[in-house]
Structure 1
């Protein structure tokens, strides 16, 4: 009888323990499925907070907040690494924001912290540069990845007459979007007969810093005397490289193209030695904010085919792997430079 009582007590205790564990898991699951009844606070976490590209994106988000409600919190590290973003993700979790919009410095650096945010019921969206797909629900992309790489390469080909050596001056070795563009360029160079006389000699890195990009641009020109062009797929890097090569007298002999705020390199574009592949960054911020609010309020579940209303910007469709694309980028030349305010 005593043995049966002890066995019953153990069974009840184990049952309580299992029940408690199930309750904790269920709570986490419920938290992840939380839906807000109205606009939430959205935390924006760029690679670097001082990058004018990111502050313009932030301003677009703030304009959208004024339109549909909610609030934007903007916080960022001083180094462009995934590890540096982790404490800021944790800070936003502690602030209990309703959504986090992050521009990933790399795919996995802050992924564990972002998954923690999702378990806490915070919706996670990447913008401009993606993170691991299991760490976010949506990726708001400025343009299709393959399109950007192709346009930069076509721009370079036009500038150097489809012939000669060129280099790429990227930001960091872990930059997700830039690595994808570079791989697309390499693939096309190996297969496209129109590019058979072009040679990519090296990929250098400017570390998301203007002074480093300026020095790297000068070093590339010195290291490769036959260099005819440099693709700089980074908003900080292209203006810095243009200014540096202008000072050394190499700009013109060496052509530049890539990604940057058109307003920062307007005089170089007008001169015909630089082109730019660009889009409306303010709108990218607005679209990401609309997407964050729709997700937080469970108006969308981030499933392919769903439509996201974005106010005056129109309606956008969720694609495969949760990607939402703002729209086609434009090659900025002397003919259309005045169309770009940023």
Structure 2
């Protein structure tokens, strides 16, 4: 009996050491090289997003940098992807300007050992391992229409002021907006135009002006882009249509605060873009460290944000959109 007890004890120690060894293999590696590649570097939203990624990198001891083009063209990110390959980066995190144009370069990056994670705007699934989504795409699209419907009494002509015509996230949200509009509750709302401001401030300003001039019965505009909604609000704030045309969409509190307080905009939505970049960096680090492989059902911990689960086709969802208005906007600073 004593001999059997000793064997069991030794086995227990061995299993314990195995568990420790297993735990050690699932810790994040130190000194990971991570490149953050936003749509363009002079977009305020992208700055907040990548700053969140840099904060996460500092927490986990990674060497992260932000690079990117000055415009959001379909292929302007290619040279930065190639540089990440040449510099043997452990991970590349990007918000894609086009779902397909970047695929050959991203595939080459993955073949070279670079872990590719998209955030905010996805590529086709074969171009990356993980996609960190702001919120469920269907939920975002439907929520935008639900909010506008409530604000205009579910009646009148409406328009959408989007970013670029080929932006993956914008087009997915718009698809779900159109689906939501098919419901009986919106039978008296009519989508008259989808305009594109190309994520450019002046272009978006001009497109907002054009919508109001072209559609005299316009009651509401959804702009699911932080550049578009702020530019649209700037035009609307000095227009005779202020108070007549309702503008909502996706914006940051700091951009929209003055327009909420002066009555140009009643309510708008977003998530915290800093949290999105933060989550994407932790996801990329978990991938590069071998904690996860991108399979559905795998879990990892993203610092202060807690535990996340990899969903279908490698999608990780940050959380639902939040509605900002006069009652809460001063509680936020981003």
TM-score normalised by L of structure 2 = 0.89
Deviations 1:82-130 (A, max 9, x none): 3111111111111211100010111011111011000000000000010
Kept in 1: contact 2:50–2:277 (CA 8 A) = yes
- 1:41 is the counterpart of 2:33: yes
For the Cα contact (< 8 Å) 1:143–1:328, is it kept in 2?
yes
Which of residues 100, 111, 125 in structure 1 aligns to 2:103? 111
1:264 paired residue number: 255
C-alpha displacement of 1:36: 8.9
Residue 133 (structure 2) pairs with residue 141 (structure 1): yes
Q: 1:283 aligns with which of 275, 280, 303?
A: 275
The structure 2 residue matched to 1:252, chosen from 243, 258, 264, is 243
State the 1:38 CA deviation.
3.5
Give the counterpart of 1:123 among 111, 115, 125. 115
Aligned to 1:324: 316
State which of 87, 90, 96 in structure 2 corresponds to 1:95. 87
The 1-side partners of 2:284 and 2:200 are apart by 29
What is the correspondence of 1:1-342 to structure 2 with a 5 Å cutoff? 37-190=29-182, 192-274=183-265, 275-342=267-334
* Residue pair 1:272, 1:334 contacting (<8 A) in 2 also: no
Is the contact made by 2:38 and 2:50 (CA closer than 8 Å) also made in structure 1? no
Alignment check: 8 A CA contact 2:233 2:264 kept: no
Deviation string, structure 1 residues 8-61 (Cα, Å, up to 9, x no partner): xxxxxxxxxxxxxxxxxxxxxxxxxxx995441111111111111111111111
The residue aligned with 1:29 is none
- Give the Cα separation in 2 of the matches to 1:269 and 1:147: 24
Secondary structure of 1:228 counterpart: strand
- C-alpha distance in 2 between matches for 1:335 and 1:304: 39
**Number of residue equivalences:** 307
Cα-to-partner distance string for 1:194-228 (whole Å, 9 max, x where unaligned) = 11110000100001100000000001000000001
Conserved in 2, the CA contact under 8 Å of 1:39 and 1:293?
Answer: no
Q: How far, CA to CA, are the matches of 2:48 and 2:62 in structure 1?
A: 18
- Quick one: distance in 2 between partners of 1:339 and 1:307? 31
TM-score (norm 1): 0.87
Change (3 A) 1:292 1:48: same
C-alpha separation in 2, matches of 1:231 and 1:322 = 29
- In structure 2, the CA distance between the partners of 1:272 and 1:153, relative to structure 1 (3 Å rule), is farther
Structure 1, unaligned stretches of length 5 or more?
1-34
